[in-house]
Amino acid sequence: AIHLFGNSNGQAWEISEWNKTDVNGSYEARGTFANEAAGRHTLYVDVDGATSNDVSYRVTDCSPTF
């Protein structure tokens, strides 16, 4: 099971059993962020008791303005 936890715009959060790895222990996800996700984020992943280094990123609204 993949356990996610982190901080988004100063608010701590976690998702237990967010997803599962494949038989080789790998997982891949792709997608886009909603406009409401704008801000600064830090993410950690825990798989079978092993915690990743933190990944920090910023989401910005890139919608064109006319």
Stretch 10-16: mean pLDDT: 95
Model confidence over 15-66: pLDDT tens digits? 999 999 999 989 998 988 888 899 999 999 999 899 999 999 999 988 787 7
6 DSSP β-pair partners: 13, 43
9 Cβ contact partners less than 8 Å away, ≥ 6 residues apart:
39, 40, 41
